[in-house]
């Protein structure tokens, strides 16, 4: 926040002799990364066996990622959990069934033709069997530049509104005495996979993942600007 130290008169309504406006700015940029979220869930008679089965799936996923030259810094284990599962069909008692081990992995794919590389990785992960690909989306490695463009557009929008109000009110617009970032929103493009169709595709010789297009990602910034009135 930027605020002037000028001797503005105060009232119960705030700073007097000012015009306050809201500005909105947007920046649409091409994403440069595909984020793939993978989840593994295995059920077994013991916790050790459930974990072993889950780890075997994780090893297969890592082998695929290593073959695709995905750096370790771009592979993150997001969640590891083991818990008992019960039969709760009877309200008066519960029966222990087996134990479930779950793991979640977040994978970031970037570089040349990252969208096609990511689609190939999804194909191979899906072929492992009983491995879910969830919440996959395009993203930006560095959002700072796009936020700066959106913020510049938001300030320009606020200034245009203030100039219009000053003209309508028959006053002269002075310098801004307060500038506040109110909201920053970022909307990556989600990619939805139909798991029923994926299962059908996986049983044929056809590629299981359709062609991906990065499109555009939108960043929106809202600013509030208070101008003095000369």
pLDDT tens profile 5-23: 344 444 334 556 899 999 9
- Look at domain 33-139 and name its CATH class: alpha beta
For residue 190, name the pLDDT band (cuts at 50, 70, 90): low
Report the pLDDT value the prediction gives residue 210, as an integer from 0 to 100.
57
* Sequence-separated (6 or more) residues with CB below 8 Å from residue 3: 177, 178, 179
Report the pLDDT value the prediction gives residue 194, as an integer from 0 to 100.
44
Measured distance CA(34)–CA(214) in Å, rounded: 8
Tell me the mean pLDDT in the region 140-150: 90
Nearest residue to 221 via CA among 21, 24, 1, 30: 24
Query: In the chain, pLDDT over 70 holds for what percent of residues?
Result: 82
Tell me the mean pLDDT in the region 216-224: 91
β partners of residue 46: none
Domain 2-29+144-186+220-229 matching CATH 3.30.110.70: the answer reads no
Task: Read off the pLDDT of residues 72-87 as tens digits, 9 standing for 90 and up.
Answer: 999 999 999 999 999 8
The more confident residue out of 69 and 6 is 69
Q: Where in the chain is the domain with CATH 3.30.110.170?
A: 2-29+144-186+220-229
Residue with tokens 């069934």, as numbered in its chain: 97
Sheet containing 2-3: which strands, arranged edge to edge? Answer: 2-3, 173-187, 217-229, 18-29
Instruction: Please determine, for residue 3, whether its predicted confidence score (pLDDT) is greater than 90.
Output: no
Quickly count: other Cβ atoms within 10 Å of residue 4's Cβ. 15
Nearest residue to 158 via CA among 144, 172, 183, 179: 179
Instruction: Please determine, for residue 44, whether its predicted confidence score (pLDDT) is greater than 70.
Output: yes
Judge contact between 18 and 175, C-beta under 8 A: no
Q: Where in the chain is the domain with CATH 3.30.70.2970?
A: 33-139
Query: How far is C-alpha 84 from the geometric centre of its chain's CA atoms?
Result: 32
For residue 191, name the pLDDT band (cuts at 50, 70, 90): low
Q: Is the pTM of this model over 0.85?
A: no
* Sequence-separated (6 or more) residues with CB below 8 Å from residue 216: 28, 29, 30, 31, 189
Report the pLDDT value the prediction gives residue 202, as an integer from 0 to 100.
46
Q: Average pLDDT, whole number, for the chain?
A: 85
């Amino acid at each position: 926040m930027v605020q002037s130290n000028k001797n503005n008169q105060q009232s119960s309504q705030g700073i007097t002799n000012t015009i306050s406006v809201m500005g909105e700015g947007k920046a649409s940029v091409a994403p440069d990364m595909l984020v793939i979220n993978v989840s593994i869930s295995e059920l077994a008679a013991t916790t050790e066996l459930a974990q072993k089965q889950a780890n075997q799936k994780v090893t297969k996923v890592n082998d695929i990622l290593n073959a695709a030259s995905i750096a370790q810094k771009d592979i993150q284990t997001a969640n590891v959990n083991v818990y008992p599962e019960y039969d709760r069909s009877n309200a008066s008692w519960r029966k222990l069934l087996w134990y479930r081990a779950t793991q979640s992995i977040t994978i970031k794919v970037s570089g040349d033709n990252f969208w096609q590389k990511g689609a190939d990785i999804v194909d191979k992960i899906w072929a492992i069997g009983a491995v879910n690909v969830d919440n996959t989306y395009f993203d930006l490695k560095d959002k700072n530049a796009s936020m700066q463009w959106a913020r510049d557009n938001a300030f320009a929008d606020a200034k245009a509104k203030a100039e219009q109000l000053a003209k309508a009110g028959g006053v002269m617009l002075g310098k801004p005495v307060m500038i506040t970032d109110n909201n920053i929103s970022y909307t990556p493009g989600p990619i939805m996979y139909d798991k029923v169709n994926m299962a059908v595709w996986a049983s044929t010789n056809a590629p299981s993942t359709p062609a991906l297009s990065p499109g555009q990602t939108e960043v929106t910034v809202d600013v509030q600007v208070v101008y003095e009135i000369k």
